Structures are given as C-alpha cells and as structure tokens.
A and B are shown apart, each in its own frame.
Chain A
Amino acid sequence: MTVLVELERVLYIEDEPDIRLVAEIALRQVGRLDVVTCASGEEGLSLLNDFMPQLIILDVMMPGMDGPQILGKLRQLSAFKDTPVVFITAKVQPDEVEQFKKLGAADVISKPFNPMTLADDVRAIWARCYG
C-alpha cells in the first residue's frame, strides 16, 4: 500500500501531564513525529492554525470540553473538517468504538498504550485514512 502523504504533525490533547509526557516520548522520540501536546480542548483549538496538525489524538474524558465535544468543534472548522481524529480511552468496549466512529473518529486507541508501538499504531490509522 502506498501512502501518498507522510504523517509528520500530530496534536495530542490530554489533561493528564504524565500521560502527555509518555506520549511525547512515544511519538516524538520513538516515532520521530512532530508532536505538540496540550492539556485542554480550548488550548488545542487555539493552536490549530499555527501548527496545522495532520492528525489529532484526543483523550475522551477530560474536564471542560471532552474528546467528542472537541471533535464536534473541529468538524465546524473548514480547514479541519476532514482531519483524522483518533480517540484514546481506557478499556474501551467494541460498542463504544463503533459509537466513536459514528461520531467521526478515524479509530480508537485504548489505554494503556504501548509507548514503543503508539507511533506505529497512529501511522497505521493514518495509512488507512489516506493509503
């Protein structure tokens, strides 16, 4: 399968600081991706036009705007209405995965994620979207 556009820029929105750090190590150092992490939906939305992420990872449960609410905001923005969004959540059930996909998520990654394979998992989702 040929991927026409290589994945380079990923935005990860997650309220837990330690998980953000692990994700940075996993995506930036292991996966060699250009990663920006932030703690809230408000912050993430404010960064979109500067960073122009190609793919966005959203924690599902966060204070303030949760993952699905952020996805809803993204889909109202013409520049990001088609940007692949991946939800990340703990112990997700198959029916919940389907529910998230119906909302427009490209896929769902479950916590705990493996730091050594997270970037590969994200690239695989990207390839399914654009391969």
Chain B
Amino acid sequence: MNGISSAFWDLLRPQAALAVGALAVLAAGASRRVSTRVVKWLALAAVAVALLLLMTVRLQVVCLPLLRSDLLGSGLQAVFLSAAIPLLYLMEPADEIPPALVLGSLIGMGLIAVSGNLLMLFIGLELMSVPAYLLVARSRSPQALEASVKYFFAGGTASAIYLMGMALHFRAAGSLVLAPAPGPAGAAGLALMAAAAFFKLGAVPMHFWLPDVYEASDPELAGFFSTGLKAAAVLFLARLVPMAAPAGALVPALAWFAVLTILFGAVVALRQQNLQRLLAYSSISHAGFMMLAVAAWAKQGLAAPAAGALFFYLAAYLFMSGGAFLWLKAAGVRTRAELLGLAKARPGSAAVFAVLLLALAGIPPTAGFAAKFLVFWEAFKAGLYVPLLLAGLGALVSLGYYLGLIRDMYFDEAGPEPVKAVGPAPARWFALGCAAASVLLGLTPWLMDWFRPGMLGLRP
C-alpha cells in the first residue's frame, strides 16, 4: 500500500486549517461562557490562517491520484477565502452555527480547487452547497425559507445530474480521474457534468433559482454567493473542460451558453426594482463573461494567459460585486425607488456605489474594464468572433441599468420614500475598500502578480 505522500497533505493544508477552525468554532459555541463575538473572531482567524497557508503551498503543478494543484486553483482559492472575510465579519449570528457553516462551505470550495478526481470534485461540491442552503434559511428576509428550499431542490437536482454524468463517464473510461472518456457514453457523461456546473454557476437556462436566492439572502451573504460561490463554480467548470474527448469539444457549447447568459441577465436586469434582484441578474450576466473566458481558455489548449484572464475577472468581480452587495447592506437600501436623489442626501455613499456600478459596467479606468478587456482579448485570440460580438452587445445593454441606477441617484429628485435606515459602519468601510480596490486594480492590474508571481498567466 502506498503511503500518502507529503504533497497530498501539503495541498490540503488550507482546508485542514479551516476544518480545525470549524471544530474550534463549534467547541466555543458549545461552551456557554464564550460569546458569539469570540466565535466570529475564531472563524476569521481560521480563514486568515488558511490564506497564509495557501501562500506557502508550493507552486508547482502537482498531480496525485485524488488531488492536483495548479495556479488557477490556488488563485481562485484565494478569491473565495477573501470573499468569506466580510461575510464572517458582518453576519450577526445568534449562535455559532452560521460561522461554522461558512467555514464548511469554504472547505468544500477548497476541495474543488485541489481535486483531481471526479469523486473528490463531488464531495467538494456537496460540502460547498449544503451549508449554503442552510445559510439562506437563516437569513432575515421573510422569503428566506422558501428560497432555501428552492435552492436545495435545484442544487440537489444538479448533484443528481452530476452523479449520473459521473456514472456514465466511469462506464466509458473505467476510472474517475479527470481525463477524457471515449465514446458516446463519455460525451453524454461530460455533458451532464457540465450541466451541473452550469446549474451551480447560474448559467442560462439553469439560472432560475439564483435571483430568488440572492433576493432572499442577507446582502452580505448574497455578496458571498455572488463572488465566492461563483468562483468555486467557475473552477468546477474549468476542471471539467480538459475532459472533453476531442480537446476543445466543449468550446461551442460554452461560448453560446455564455452569450445566452450574458444577454438574458442584461435584458432581465433592466426591469428589476429590487436592488438585490437586479444585482442577481447582473451576476448571471457576469457569469456569462466568465464562461466566455473559460471557452477562450479551452479553445487555446488551456493556455496560461487565458487562465490568467479568467482569474483576473474573478478577482476584479470579488471587489465589484461583493462591494455592491456590501454597499446595499451599508446604505440600508432595498429598492430602486429608494435610490432617487440619494446623491444630495448622502453624497459620499452615493459616490461609492457609483464607482462600484461603473466597475460592474466595465467603464475605464476601473477593474471591470481591465477584466472585460482581458477576457475579450483572449476570446478574440481564440477566434470566437461572433460570441465576442454578442457579448459586447450584452455589455452595452447592461450599461442601461448600471448607468440608470447612477442617473437615479444623481439626476432625480428625492422620491416619496427617502432612506432613513443606515447599515453598520464596518459594512461602509468594506464597501469603500472594495470601491477603492476596483479602481486600483483597474489602474494597476499587475498588482495581482504581487500575490503570486506568474498569476496573470506567465507560467502554467
């Protein structure tokens, strides 16, 4: 029997830190002398330690029977670990269970990031999703329970579809390693597994659960779903891409579903009045751009620069979308009508939201522009001209609501329902930080290389 190699434990170090953190959180919650404040800091410490350990994981491409590591995986792991920090800081849990659930979800995402086997991928997927259903149920909104059940059934269906695909793949290939499987059974298996990834990503036509969930969740939780969970879902999709039997067989499907997702999200968001629902449709639209980046990456034979563009999109999106949801929390705004004339009443707050919206729309000099530019450039290099054109059209349509929100704030008189509620101060600081980061990243995209040399795809 082979001993489990040291590289195995090396890759699992961040997940181990999170697991120890989750156990510590539960133990602290069970002892009645510890307050929920301490529990919160324990969870934050676990995430911080996991981030530090992630930096120390050796930077080579490792392939083991169950695990593998590469730059894209470790980069996106940093994205979703960072996405959990504002959530853990801002959530006001009644007991220790929500922080432990967040840590559990992060372990699942981490397993997706390092998995080199379909079964491991499935364990990561479930470990990521099940806490997410429970976290939605614990939100304050009256629709939280309904949304949670909807999410549970949609997610359960996705898992079942994935398992069916995995079984077909196993029949064709005789193994669960992430490698192509021959024949029609292999193709059908891959198609089913990709459909499950589309489900998790919220890609049209498997997006129907997403707006309800984002609307019913607390804003900070919706921000985590939109950034962290989305990064993990993209990674999940990216892990399936190399399994296409003639390499790049998934590209047309990815590109056209990406276009459909971009256009659908952009058009439907135009009519939304609830801001969290609007941002949810905007999140669907952005998922389309990420899929386009994945398609370009697959078309270019998994070239490193295309992976870099994908990573940069998700890193920028962490600040843009996460910041927008945190701003909703900070400003205590729920509907579009409450935005009217906000710039006169609270100019600073309105400016922060305007910057975040410009970043989401992809206006230079924000990170949103740099991210879209990188993705479009990679898609152009990959020769995906028609999808590229339609994606550009989608980006143009999305200006309609991003700029519409800015017009509401700056050029409209205050409506009949001015905002009185103001959210907690830390949320304001987080939103401000995200706005600053999305401008800074737009001006200096190479700052990303500070985190990991070669992150933008100079190395595989």
Q: Do A and B make up one complex? A: no
Which A residues contact B (CB, under 8 angstroms)?
none
